[in-house]
Amino acid sequence: MTVHTEASGAVLVVTIDRPERRNAIDASAAREIERAWDRLDSDSDLRAGILTGAGGMFSAGADLKAAAAGMPAARTQRRGYFGMIGLPPLKPVLAAVEGDALGGGFELLLACDLVVASQTARFALPECRRGVLAAGGGAVKLPVRLPVNIAMEMLLTGAPQTAERLHMLGLVNTLCPPGGALGAALEMARAIASNAPLSVGAARRIVRHVAAAGEAAGWAMQEAEWDALRASADYREGIAAFVEKRTPHWSGS
């Protein structure tokens, strides 16, 4: 098992445990994440979830080495990318972030409702540096969660952002000392779990509906752009350069 679950009262803590791969997600981990959220949805004693990573790292996103080796994509039939992004749980989920949330790891965070982060956490969407696309929600969701110019900066430069900056911009709800993200997330999740579940569910659905109304066109456009990108020489070059640990040579074709 590379994803562990533990109930802490009414809160289900889901931990990605692949520190040797920087908690990158492969097809097997995606299936385990899906099963964890199925448990959260089906257990009436659970009121909220927390997603975190083991070993002081949130997640580096998709396991590109597995992808380069021809392994199945890190997605499931029902819940989509990383077993979550296409169909998040029905109950509130918090991200507890230590270390880095990169690429698909950052997109996992965007699929959560609230974000608690260590002061030393870093966030990035480096896909443009690898010839790929932030197709797990980064390009679609980020302009909803951040000012458009900041979202554009993250997507086009791939440069890491500090937790402090994203806290000031409203993406990170709570900052805490290093090592304290899970504890702070549990405190917030327990506060949510103590409230009336029907009220919590109604408020969450309304907020998500309003956000999704602005995302629908973006998801449709992304499919066409992503199909074209996957057929390009630069896409193949970016993956190869990452695996071979060298600088990519872009041809623009």
Catalytic residue numbers? 107, 127
What is the Cα 149 distance to its own chain's centre? 21
The rounded distance, in Å, linking the Cα atoms of 229 and 253 is 9
- Other residues' Cβ atoms within 10 Å of the Cβ of residue 183: 12
The rounded distance, in Å, linking the Cα atoms of 188 and 18 is 26
Q: For the chain, give percent helix, strand, coil, nearest 5.
A: 45, 20, 35
What is the length of the chain? Answer: 253
The rounded distance, in Å, linking the Cα atoms of 182 and 207 is 24
